[in-house]
Structure formats: structure tokens, C-alpha cells
Structure 1
């Protein structure tokens, strides 16, 4: 048996040959490799047994304050997420209605003047985007009650 085969339990796929002077050296090497492989397997199995017995399954209940991979956690009420009733369509698109308009401006794009409005989608996380005013007037005209 070749030393590589003794160590890894399969034949070497490399084109290198294992040449040694004499059968005795090859025998000794093979025996030592088998001994090393057996000891490594025994050590790994001891480690796996220890880990498997010492591991506790993680269990959480509602309202647990958990941050994974942090050593210390100072509770902050802003970290608590509130559950929301979210409507998801069949094509997995979530429609989020705009809350309000915050600002407006006129920009020049491709040689044309374009009216933009800043739409607030979620005040808690500060989610807002600049949208075309004409598109927002079509989608939600009630947002423009403050503008004449």
C-alpha cells in the first residue's frame, strides 16, 4: 500500500511515483501513516462527541431581545420591530402607499424641465425618494391637496 493511499484511503491521482530504497522503509512509512490517520480520526470523533453533547438547541420565545454575535447588548426601544399587516400580490410585489410629500424642485434633464417631489414612504426608517410629480399626481392625487 502506498503512503498516500494509507493516509487518505484512496489511490494517488498524481503522476508522481513513490520510490524508496528498500521495502523496509516503505513498510515503516506506511505503518506510521496508518497510525497517524487512526489517531486523527480518533481525535476528531472525540471532539465531535463532545461538541454534540455540549450543544444546546437555541430556543426563543415571543418578545425576546436577541442580537446574534454581539457580546453586550444595551436595550433600545428603537431596535424593536413592530409587526405590520403587509399585503403581497400573487406576483410577489408589495405595494407601499406613500405617506406624504416633503419637498419639490424643478430639474433640467435632457434639455427639459422636470418637476420632482420628495415622497415619504416610511417615517420610522426615513425612507424617501424623489419621484416625477406628474406620476405621483396620477397615483395619489390626495397628496397634492396642499398645492394648488
Structure 2
């Protein structure tokens, strides 16, 4: 038997603001860098940055390789 679902309207993002293409895809654009960390391995160090993306909440920020982000989005650094 199906039950009525009470959704949280604060989590709905309007599609007008996202800019969905005809192929039902959109491009994520980084807004700012929140944090930086360096992981030490045996022979090298890997730098990562925590990136806040447009159309996402603060809790959904992702860790990305700093080198890749500098190549793709140099204006953030």
C-alpha cells in the first residue's frame, strides 16, 4: 500500500536558476575554495582543496585535486 510522502520544499531547486540544457544536463561552476589539505604518502604529497559548487549546499562541497582545479579554474586561486 502506498503512503503519502511529505517532501521538504526547502530542498527543491528551481530549474530556471540552474540553466538545464536540452540534453537534460548542466555545467557545475565552482564558487569558492573552502579549505586546503595535504595528504602525505610514502613518496609524495598530494594537495586537495574543498570546493563549493554553484547550486549545492555547504555540506555538499567536494574535495578535488588542487593541481586539476588550478588548471581548469585558475581564477579561484
Task: Tell whether the structures are fold-level matches, with TM greater than 0.5.
Answer: yes
2:41 and 2:22 mapped to 1: Cα distance?
34
What's the RMSD between the two structures over aligned residues? Answer: 3.0
- What aligned pairs does 1:81-100 form with structure 2 within 5 A after superposition? 81-83=13-15, 84-87=18-21, 94-100=26-32
Question: Which aligned runs of 4 or more in structure 1 are off by greater than 6 angstroms?
Answer: none
Give the CA deviation at 1:131.
1.0
Task: Check 1:124–1:88 CA distance in 2 against 1; reply closer, same or farther (3 A cut).
Answer: farther
TM-score (norm 1): 0.39
TM-score (norm 2): 0.68
What corresponds to 1:139 in structure 2? 72
Larger Rg: 1
Unaligned runs of 5+ in 2: none
Choose between structure 1 and 2 for higher RCO, CA contacts under 8 A separated by at least 6 residues.
2
> What number of residue pairs does the alignment pair up?
73
Unaligned runs of 5+ in 1: 1-67
